[in-house]
Structure 1
Amino acid sequence: MKMFEKNKEKMKEKMEPDKVLRFAIVAVILLFLIGALIIGTRMMNPRVDATEGVKKLTELEDANVQKIDAQIQELEQTEADEATAWKAKSAKEKMDGCIVLGDSTALGFRQNDILSKSQVKSKDGATVSDAEGSGLNELLTAVTEAETAPQKLILCIGRGDVAVSGETADAFAANYKSFVEQVKAALPDTKVYVCSIPAYLSLTSTGDATGSADSDTDSDSDAKDTTDNSDSKSSTDSKSSTDSKSSTDSKSSTDSKSSTDSKSNSDTSSDESSLSKMSTALDVTSYNEALKALCKEEKVKYVDTTDLTDASYFGEDGSTMTKAYYEACINKILEAAFRNYVIQ
């Protein structure tokens, strides 16, 4: 028994180094495998040198920036050339494909040779308050039945409504809204623009549109006494002289009365003329404010011409617009309708 235990101890001591050796061998094998795995992974996914790639990207970026700058400069030059060509065109050429529709205000563009006959559809006295009876609907029908619908339709209406119908601004705007909706339904692809009602000059009490008082020239001449009293020696002569003097005085009195009546009639006529001129000096401010609100509601462009109030824009009556007015007004319309160009 003791011998068995002794041999067992010897065997145990002999196996201990073998166990350490086996562990070491296993550890070495594991390290080898791990190393091989790492090397294999790196070989399968080699590290890329990004230096050359970054260099190429930088070159491409510089090239793109230069190309983009060149394209921008080309576009700017094209726009500048187009703007120059645009400015050189006449109003008729700029308004090609557009129509101005309305009352006597619209008619003025054609009468002053600002636009051609085909570019203006107008009728003196046309109103939105009576679109059917005043001929406004007829004008719209002529536009809608044309072979080609206009790209832009500019409405110049309202003076007749203000000066003749006497409607309030709210009633006027309601009628105008109905007509705008009628236009949009008939011409769905046409852009609609609404011009403000031209202002009236504020006239003086004598009706002078420029603000200075009218000067009245008295053309009446005093009656001249042509009686000759030098030869009154006889009673016959005296009687003749008396009769002559009486006749002369009577004529003088008659002429004087006639002159007074004539001057009185002239003054009365002048007063009536002044009153007539004063009756045209209407305030359109509230009507234009109503139009501006209407345009915002209907999503159409409002063309504001209310600052065109210089005396040179109006005739002596303070209401009739001159060619200078229409030249300024067409620029307002062009600026609103073609905002890509600078109008001068």
Structure 2
Amino acid sequence: MSEQDERATKAAGKAAKAKPKAKAGAAAAQGAGSSATTARLSVLKTYKLFVGGKFPRSESGRVYEVTDSEGNWLANAPLSSRKDARDAVVAARKAFGGWSGATAYNRGQVLYRVAEMLEGRREQFVGEVADAEGLSRAKAAEQVDAAIDRWVWYAGWTDKIAQVVGGANPVAGPYFNLSTPEPTGVVAVLAPQDSSFLGLVSVLAPAVATGNTVVAVTAERAPLPALSLAEVLATSDVPGGVVNLLSGRAAELGPPLAAHQDVNAIDLTGADDELARELEIAAADNLKRVVRPGLTSDWAVEPGLERMLAYLETKTVWHPTGSLGAAGSAY
């Protein structure tokens, strides 16, 4: 064998030995690429306010940490400012004419649609309520189911409440005297601190069902179920501005809402005794209707009519009868 042939044979042997190493290196590189494609960062949810049918951040740019019952971080929630509260009142006032002017039947259909949407996202709310209130999933499911049923309950009352609190009044004279309920206007609500979802629905739905528009301050410690409810409201048939949801501190947002001249009623359920006294004094300046804390303490009990009646005014109309002839008699 020539020297040239001998060199070629040695080179071929070295190449054969290198092939297994190359294959192993390629396999390792492929495995690394595969793990790189499967490993990913979670997309964390950004919670925002709900004002005028839109999802703005707080104008102050502030947020605060929301934790579960064991102190584990869940999310950052917007920390609403007084300016956010004023913007929400403007949105609620703008929406009041259209919502109060809608037929009671139509309002009932809209509220029922909210219940349908909640039913479709039931598992999401069960998880959020369980984390917010430190409940088992079974207990949280009971809370969510009760909240959905409550939406349906109030939806059914929209076109019936007038028959209960209105009617014809006997008078001495040739007149029809008719009393009918009308919505109060813009209602500010401090949601319960101890029931992040069922309690919120229990104070929110009766105000909306009777034709009012609402600015609600969510539970400070557990605002996430309420802020997720905003997504349901935005994708249902509820007109923008009918419901406005602010996360933050009741002690900071309550005073500007209670003193606001364009707010017609305020629900103090989520205020402590000291704050409630302060807000009652502020609310007296424009004779707001005030729903004091303690009207309901157990949110699991069947609702009554008290909260709907709290947000209704009575309009009485006089109309002559037979003195106008056939037309008057027919009326």
Larger-Rg structure: 1
Relative to the length of structure 1, the TM-score reads 0.25
Choose between structure 1 and 2: higher helix proportion: 1
